[in-house]
């Protein structure tokens, strides 16, 4: 909004020209989303408490988590509010990259909100049935893939994507495969963040790291001279996606103020599905789907730990009549809790891993 109106006052004073600059607006987006989270956070938590929207904790997890029962959940609405309002204020609202990312955030947030509402408010322990949740995620992912083929937003092939470590190698999908791949990326990323959201501040901190990383990649992609030099896709207009990315990061950090151990509020599926979906969509828009595996390395670890644990348990139960486990508990952050690590230590060390994965992702730009 500022981008569209305030530069018009540059004839009054030249200071209004700064609203044309992407870097200035990105900084403004971060500060705005942080302030929105700080200001509205206590209000949201208070309303959730009054509505008796409390976390339901199963007795199959670490015993220390039983004390978290009743903590307000569905706090993801605060993240969505802060990121959306900040983006609307600071981004170019005619930019396709920004609009698609915003729709993804709201779409996935709506699925998560429905799941939380059924679980917490209506008391249905299963929440939204898993297959219905998957339908919602896949519908958006497949629709996005089809949209990008029918209405390309970049000068490059809609079905092409970059391959980390290789500047002269691209993966080109046939259209049908690209549509399926988009569905897989969106669904997989949103569920991976959802699995990660099990400890105070874990998902919020890792999301902020991933969002900032993709924000930098978006800025590079939007500057053709930088993109050509670094062997990255040059995507005119993609730089605006950096504003959405840093607004998302600012919202996650602002939420972390209240979600840090001991948490005053949880994001719930409302937040985790929205954050995961937004990150997955940013990767698709930037043609960095394979790079997402590196940037979101901790999310990948969390999801793989669940897949390995479940598969091995089912295999050994069928083979030996008794299910066996690889980890003491999955997702893997609970495994380390079972080993005796305090929750804040697990979270901090996973954040460090997240930063290391982000640095590795940046390293792929020069190791080519």
| Token digits of residue 131 | 């297959």
For residues 88 and 59, the model is more confident at 88
What is the predicted pLDDT for the residue at 359? 96
Q: Which residues touch 63 (CB under 8 Å, ≥6 apart)?
A: none
What is the predicted pLDDT for the residue at 126? 67
As a whole number, mean pLDDT of residues 249-270 equals 96
What is the predicted pLDDT for the residue at 354? 98
What is the predicted pLDDT for the residue at 156? 83
All structural domains of the chain with their residue ranges: 18-292
Taking phi first (over 0 means left), then psi (-120 to 50 degrees means alpha), and beta for anything else, what does residue 201 get? left
What is the predicted pLDDT for the residue at 69? 75
What is the predicted pLDDT for the residue at 185? 97
Reported as a pLDDT band with limits 50, 70 and 90, residue 63 is low
Is pLDDT of 151 > 90? yes
- DSSP character for 68? G
What is the predicted pLDDT for the residue at 144? 97
Is pLDDT of 31 > 90? yes
Question: What is the C-alpha to C-alpha distance for residues 242 and 212, in angstroms, rounded to an integer?
Answer: 8
What is the predicted pLDDT for the residue at 368? 60
* Residues 245, 298 contacting (CB under 8 angstroms): no
Is pLDDT of 366 > 80? no
Is pLDDT of 70 > 90? no
Helix 130-150, helix 268-285: angle, nearest 10 = 20
Q: How far, CA to CA in Å, does 14 sit from each of 7, 20, 26, 140? A: 9, 11, 19, 43
Map tokens 């698709």 to a residue.
284
Question: What is the C-alpha to C-alpha distance for residues 231 and 162, in angstroms, rounded to an integer?
Answer: 9
- DSSP character for 275? H
Among 304, 302, 276, 271, which Cα is nearest to 186's?
Answer: 276
CB-CB neighbours of 169 under 10 Å: 11
Q: How far, CA to CA in Å, does 286 sit from each of 97, 166, 179, 205, 359? A: 9, 16, 16, 22, 18
Reported as a pLDDT band with limits 50, 70 and 90, residue 59 is low
Q: E strands along the chain, which residues?
A: 160-163, 166-172
What is the predicted pLDDT for the residue at 52? 82
Taking phi first (over 0 means left), then psi (-120 to 50 degrees means alpha), and beta for anything else, what does residue 268 get? left
Reported as a pLDDT band with limits 50, 70 and 90, residue 28 is very high
Is pLDDT of 352 > 60? yes
pTM for this entry: 0.94
Taking phi first (over 0 means left), then psi (-120 to 50 degrees means alpha), and beta for anything else, what does residue 287 get? left
- Using CA atoms in the order 70, 329, 255, 357, what is the torsion angle rounded to 10 degrees? 180
Q: How many CA atoms lie within 13 A of 121 on its CB side?
A: 13
pLDDT in tens, 300-350: 999 999 999 999 999 999 998 889 999 999 999 999 999 999 999 999 999
Question: What is the C-alpha to C-alpha distance for residues 158 and 218, in angstroms, rounded to an integer?
Answer: 17
* Residues 27, 17 contacting (CB under 8 angstroms): no
As a whole number, mean pLDDT of residues 185-212 equals 96
Question: What is the C-alpha to C-alpha distance for residues 217 and 296, in angstroms, rounded to an integer?
Answer: 14
What is the predicted pLDDT for the residue at 321? 87
What is the predicted pLDDT for the residue at 175? 94
Is pLDDT of 227 > 80? yes
Q: Which of 1-15, 57-71, 153-167 has the highest mean pLDDT?
A: 153-167
As a whole-number percent, the residues of the chain with pLDDT over 90 amount to 74
- Rounded to the nearest integer, the mean pLDDT of the chain is 92
Is pLDDT of 134 > 80? yes
Reported as a pLDDT band with limits 50, 70 and 90, residue 54 is confident
What is the predicted pLDDT for the residue at 4? 84
* Residues 281, 186 contacting (CB under 8 angstroms): yes
Backbone angles phi, psi at 250, to 5 degrees: -60, -40
| Token digits of residue 207 | 């999301």
- Using CA atoms in the order 54, 59, 61, 64, what is the torsion angle rounded to 10 degrees? 70
CB-CB neighbours of 22 under 10 Å: 19
In the chain, the N- to C-terminal Cα span, in Å, equals: 39
Is pLDDT of 169 > 90? no
């Amino acid at each position: 909004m500022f981008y569209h109106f305030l530069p018009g006052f540059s004839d009054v004073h030249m200071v209004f020209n700064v609203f044309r600059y992407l870097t200035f607006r990105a900084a403004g987006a971060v500060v705005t989303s942080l302030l929105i989270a700080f200001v509205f956070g206590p209000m949201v938590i208070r309303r959730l408490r009054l509505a008796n929207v409390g976390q339901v904790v199963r007795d199959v997890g670490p015993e220390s988590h039983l004390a978290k029962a009743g903590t307000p959940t569905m706090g993801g609405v605060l993240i969505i509010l802060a990121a959306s309002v900040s983006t609307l204020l600071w981004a170019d609202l005619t930019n396709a990259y920004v609009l698609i990312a915003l729709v993804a955030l709201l779409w996935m947030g709506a699925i998560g909100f429905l799941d939380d509402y059924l679980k917490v408010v209506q008391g249905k322990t299963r929440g939204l049935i898993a297959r219905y949740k998957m339908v919602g995620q896949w519908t958006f992912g497949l629709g996005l893939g089809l949209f990008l083929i029918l209405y390309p937003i970049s000068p490059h092939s809609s079905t092409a994507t970059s391959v980390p470590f290789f500047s002269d190698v691209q993966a080109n999908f046939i259209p049908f495969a690209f549509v399926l791949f988009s569905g897989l990326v969106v669904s997989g990323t949103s569920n991976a963040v959802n699995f990660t959201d099990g400890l105070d501040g874990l998902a919020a901190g890792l999301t902020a790291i991933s969002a900032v990383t993709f924000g930098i990649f978006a800025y590079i992609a939007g500057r053709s001279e930088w993109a050509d030099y670094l062997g990255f896709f040059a995507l005119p207009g993609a730089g605006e996606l950096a504003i959405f990315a840093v607004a998302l990061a600012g919202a996650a950090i602002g939420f972390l103020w209240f979600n840090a151990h001991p948490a005053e509020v949880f994001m719930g599926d409302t937040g985790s599905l929205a954050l995961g979906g937004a990150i997955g969509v940013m990767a698709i828009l930037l043609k960095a789907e394979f790079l997402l595996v590196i940037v979101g390395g901790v999310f990948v670890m969390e999801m793989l730990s669940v897949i390995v644990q479940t598969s091995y348990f089912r295999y050994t139960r069928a083979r030996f009549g008794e299910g066996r486990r690889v980890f003491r508990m999955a997702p893997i952050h609970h495994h380390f809790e079972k080993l005796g690590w305090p929750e804040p230590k697990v979270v901090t060390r996973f954040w460090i891993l997240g930063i290391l994965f982000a640095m590795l992702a940046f390293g792929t730009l020069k190791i080519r």
